[in-house]
Structure formats: structure tokens, C-alpha cells
């Protein structure tokens, strides 16, 4: 027993664990400074209408320009931001920045929206979120239809009743709502039917193997049929080849987004790309 206790005591001082905790604390501190130091930036990726390959909106994707690390991808800091609650101020910064950008583009008479912004569970579950969003839109004199919110399937299905309530308030403002990464979560059709949503985004993991895996061809087909049956619009993410685009178009998928058209780009490059 003494030996076990000893081991337990030793575990408490496990240097590896200590190092992990230290690293986390350090990253959290760095994230906080990134926010106050204006080190975040939004990149924009165009969405395309599959029927005529025309530009029809964009998604705003956050990047962190760390003075030492260079550009850090959201996959490397959004999870920690979610755990620590920093996602709320960061998410507000994203909404604020995307709306300010939309206003600048509208004033310059170039680059129409809508702009899609990713919203995490913490933001959605905040009872003040809809009111804050309404205030941001008003401050930038933007119609709600300029803004699309992307919420992941797993966020919605973790607590569907809560999500229905929260999304209904947002939809009532007039913003459109997309379910992101669709196909990777556990949607129940009865909830899908009740959600006040407008769009499903087929997850990139299913799009990647179109034409390569018969199974993925069939999954994508099924997802698009579900969306059409529910009278929802469909966006495919991660479209990289003309073959994938043609397959998706053939199934009635409305929109596509992916490297075939453009990568997420900084503002200046995005403007150059659209040549407007």
C-alpha cells in the first residue's frame, strides 16, 4: 500500500504531465495576448454556384499570425479556445471583423456576400448571443441576409432541443443557418426536420474520395438526397477536382467550396481574385 501511495504521490509530480499543463497554460496566455494584440486575421474562401461556376458568397476562416510561429491554423487553437472559454471573445471578434469587412466592401460597391461565419457551441448556448449578433449587424448597417452562420452537426446534436431554441432566435433575425461537417455527427431525422436551418454542408471527408470509393459516392448521394428531401440547399466542402464538381452537380448539389476554385485567402488576395 505504501508503495502504491508512493507511486501515486510520484504521479502527482509526473514531469511529463506538469510539462503538458505548463504548455497549455502558456498557449492559453499566448491566445489571450493574440486577441488583445490583434494577431488574428480572417481569410476568405469563395463559394461557387455549381450550375454556372459563378461566385456566390464566401466563408470567413480565422488565422493566427503569431510573431514567432507564423500563421497558425484554427485546428491548432480553436479546441483550446473552446475549452478555456476564450472562444467567446474570439468568436465575437470574428463576427465583428467579418461584418466590418462586409460594410467596407458594400461601401466600395464590390464583393457581395453573404459571408459565412463559424459559430461554436459556447457561443450558440449563450442566451445573449442573438441580441449581440443583432447589435453587431445594426452597428455595421447590414441586412441579416448578408450573414450566414455555420454550426457543426455535432454541436447541434449534443443538445438538439437547446440548439433548436437557440437557432430559432437567430433564424428569426433573418440570418441563414448552415449545418457544417454534415455526415460526421449523429443526426436524427426527426431533429433535422425541426431545425430552422437553410443549408447542409457535406463534410470534406466524403467529397475527397468521390470517384475513388464507391461507398463514398453512395454516401454523398444519400446526403444530398436527404438535404433535397428536407428542402435544404447543399454545399460541398473540400472540392478539389473537376470530376468531384461534376459528380456533385449531377446530384443536384447547389454550391461548392474548395481548392479547385480557391484556397482561403487574405483580404487583398481575395479582392484580387474576384477582380472587383
> Binding residues for Mg ion, per CB under 5 A?
118, 150, 180-181, 203-204, 237
How many angstroms separate the CA atoms of 129 and 138, rounded? 14
Among 32, 35, 55, 74, binds ligand C2E (CB under 6 A): 74
* Cα maximum dimension of the chain: 75
Write out the three cell numbers for 261: 476554385
How many angstroms separate the CA atoms of 95 and 247, rounded? 34
- When asked if residue 62 is in the footprint of ligand C2E (CB under 6 A), the reply is yes
Strand segments (E) across 85-145: 115-118
Nearest distance in Å: CB 163, ligand C2E = 15
Residue in the shown chain whose Cβ atom is closest to ligand C2E: 258
CA nearest 62: which of 86, 219, 26, 242? 86
Q: Which is nearer to ligand C2E, 16 or 75 (CB)?
A: 75
Q: Which of residues 149-178 bind ligand C2E (CB under 6 A)?
A: 150
Alpha-helical regions (H) of 121-176 = 121-125, 129-139, 153-158, 160-173
Question: Is residue 275 left, alpha or beta, with left meaning phi > 0 and alpha meaning psi from -120 to 50?
Answer: left
Q: Which of residues 227-246 bind ligand C2E (CB under 6 A)?
A: 237-240
Q: Decide which of ligand C2E, Mg ion, none touches 210; Cβ closer than 5 to 8 Å per partner kind.
A: none
Q: Which is nearer to Mg ion, 30 or 171 (CB)?
A: 171
Q: Which is nearer to ligand C2E, 70 or 109 (CB)?
A: 70
Q: Which is nearer to ligand C2E, 21 or 162 (CB)?
A: 162
Coil/strand/helix, residue 65:
strand
- When asked if residue 183 is in the footprint of ligand C2E (CB under 6 A), the reply is no
Write out the three cell numbers for 108: 466600395
Residue numbers at the binding site for ligand C2E (CB under 6 A): 45, 61-62, 73-75, 78, 91, 94, 118, 120, 150, 180-181, 204, 237-240, 257-259, 264
Amino acid at each position: 500500500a505504501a508503495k502504491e501511495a508512493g507511486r501515486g504521490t510520484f504521479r502527482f509530480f509526473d514531469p511529463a504531465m506538469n510539462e503538458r499543463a505548463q504548455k497549455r497554460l502558456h498557449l492559453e496566455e499566448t491566445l489571450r495576448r493574440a486577441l488583445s494584440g490583434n494577431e488574428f486575421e480572417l481569410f476568405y474562401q469563395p463559394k461557387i454556384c455549381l450550375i454556372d461556376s459563378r461566385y456566390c458568397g464566401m466563408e470567413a476562416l480565422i488565422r493566427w499570425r503569431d510573431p514567432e510561429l507564423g500563421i497558425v491554423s484554427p485546428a491548432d487553437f480553436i479546441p483550446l479556445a473552446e475549452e478555456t472559454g476564450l472562444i467567446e471573445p474570439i468568436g465575437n471578434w470574428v463576427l465583428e471583423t467579418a461584418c466590418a469587412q462586409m460594410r467596407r466592401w458594400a461601401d466600395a460597391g464590390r464583393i457581395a456576400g453573404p459571408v459565412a461565419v463559424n459559430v461554436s457551441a459556447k457561443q450558440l448556448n449563450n442566451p445573449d448571443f442573438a441580441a449581440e449578433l443583432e447589435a453587431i449587424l445594426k452597428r455595421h448597417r447590414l441586412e441579416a441576409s448578408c450573414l450566414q452562420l455555420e454550426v457543426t452537426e455535432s454541436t447541434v446534436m449534443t443538445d438538439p432541443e437547446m440548439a433548436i431554441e437557440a437557432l430559432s432566435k437567430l433564424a428569426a433575425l433573418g440570418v441563414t443557418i448552415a449545418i457544417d461537417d454534415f455526415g460526421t455527427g449523429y443526426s436524427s431525422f426527426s431533429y433535422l426536420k425541426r431545425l430552422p436551418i437553410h443549408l447542409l454542408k457535406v463534410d470534406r471527408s466524403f467529397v475527397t474520395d468521390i470517384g475513388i470509393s464507391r461507398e463514398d459516392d453512395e454516401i454523398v448521394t444519400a446526403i444530398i438526397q436527404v438535404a433535397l428531401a428536407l428542402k435544404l440547399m447543399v454545399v460541398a466542402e473540400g472540392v478539389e477536382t473537376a470530376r468531384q464538381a461534376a459528380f456533385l452537380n449531377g446530384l443536384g448539389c447547389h454550391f461548392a467550396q474548395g481548392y479547385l476554385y480557391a484556397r482561403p485567402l487574405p483580404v487583398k488576395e481575395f479582392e484580387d481574385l474576384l477582380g472587383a
